[in-house]
Amino acid sequence: MLQLVRPESAEAAAAALGNGTKALAGGTDLVPLLRDGIVHAETLVQVAPLLPRGIDGSRIGAGATLAELEVDPQIPDALREACRLAASPQLRNMGSIGGNLLQSTRCWYWRLKYPCRLHGGDRCHAAEGEHREHAIFANDFCASAHPSDVAAALLALDARVRTSRRELGIADLYRLADEGDRATTTLEPDELILEIELPPVEASVYLKAMDRKRWSFPQVGVAAARTSTGTRIALAGVAPIPWLLAGPGDLDRATPLPRTAWKVEVARALVGRALAQIS
Ligand SMILES: Cc1cc2nc3c(=O)[nH]c(=O)nc-3n(C[C@H](O)[C@H](O)[C@H](O)COP(=O)(O)OP(=O)(O)OC[C@H]3O[C@@H](n4cnc5c(N)ncnc54)[C@H](O)[C@@H]3O)c2cc1C
Ligand code: SF4
């Protein structure tokens, strides 16, 4: 029987994690995965009331919801827009930014429990099968496309993440799965994301191609941010993790699967528009 524990502090919550327990924030990603038997846990640790909330200057509490962020004038445009364009109003009211960064892949084979590489198997069913929505970069081991608009915006904004153990750049939160380790984040099982810190930015934008106008994961999401030291471009929906481009020309290095070449052209168009908007 699944247990729910409600610790008194974030420290106590982190201490209760690991060994078959999982952090529960808004539950919008985790609860369906538990229900469908894709993720297993003996105990859920309710962290939503314990996580820092709200926005304090350049710091965002990991418990802040996407709905709070999309309307806050302190939040840079790229992140506000990434939140506004994500999911549905109901989900944005429940879903936290910390949980968004850690959401699982939407690869339909993975969600249908095919014994694919990300589930520990030895095949990528998407590469061999239906993969229209899949990755155009780093897709040789697992071709899933990272679904977080928010993570791409934070990567372009060069955000830093503070956890219960350390501080790290947002890029270092993610890793590509490989034969030896199928994890796609570097977070330890007993590590909590507490805060996100944003460096100053002069202008930023997030553009998103979707298969319908609302309530749709990014087919391709493009975030661009201009600072005093240069411009950063990051993409959602194009690689198993949020993907940083060295520049627009980097798209020439994409390795699309037979039915994902269209994403390269969509990315090219959105990157051009995003750079024009922040120039
Ligand atoms: C139908 C649907 C459509 C969606 N569309 C989009 C979209 O278009 N774009 C987009 O970006 N997202 C989209 N999402 C994802 C949605 O934004 C996330 O599900 C939500 O933000 C997750 O936050 P949560 O608080 O509900 O996380 P939970 O479901 O509670 O947790 C998700 C994972 O993160 C872990 N976790 C949560 N908080 C912490 C923490 N602070 N520290 C450590 N671990 C933590 C949990 O253990 C779990 O593994 C969609 C989701 C759904 C269901
Ligand atoms: S893309 Fe990744 S998650 Fe999807 S079937 Fe291939 S290995 Fe599994």
Ligand 1 atom with minimal separation from the 151 CA: 11
Q: Would you say residue 214 has pLDDT above 90?
A: no
The pLDDT assigned to 146 comes to: 98
Distance linking the first and last C-alpha atoms of the chain: 55
Ligand 2 centre distance from Cα of residue 16 (Å):
31
Is the CB of 105 within 6 Å of ligand 2?
yes
Q: Would you say residue 57 has pLDDT above 90?
A: no
Ligand 2 centre distance from Cα of residue 144 (Å):
5
Ligand 1 centre distance from Cα of residue 123 (Å):
26
pLDDT band at 1 (very low <50, low <70, confident <90, very high): confident
Ligand nearest to the CA of 209: 1
Ligand 1 centre distance from Cα of residue 57 (Å):
24
Output the pTM of the full model: 0.98
* Residue range 119-175, pLDDT digits in tens: 999 999 999 999 999 999 999 999 999 999 999 999 999 999 999 999 999 999 999
What is the spatial distance between Cα 27 and Cα 35, in angstroms, rounded to a whole number?
11
Ligand nearest to the CA of 211: 1
Contact 96, 60 (CB under 8 A): no
Ligand nearest to the CA of 206: 1
Give the mean pLDDT of the chain. Answer: 97
Is the CB of 107 within 6 Å of ligand 2?
yes
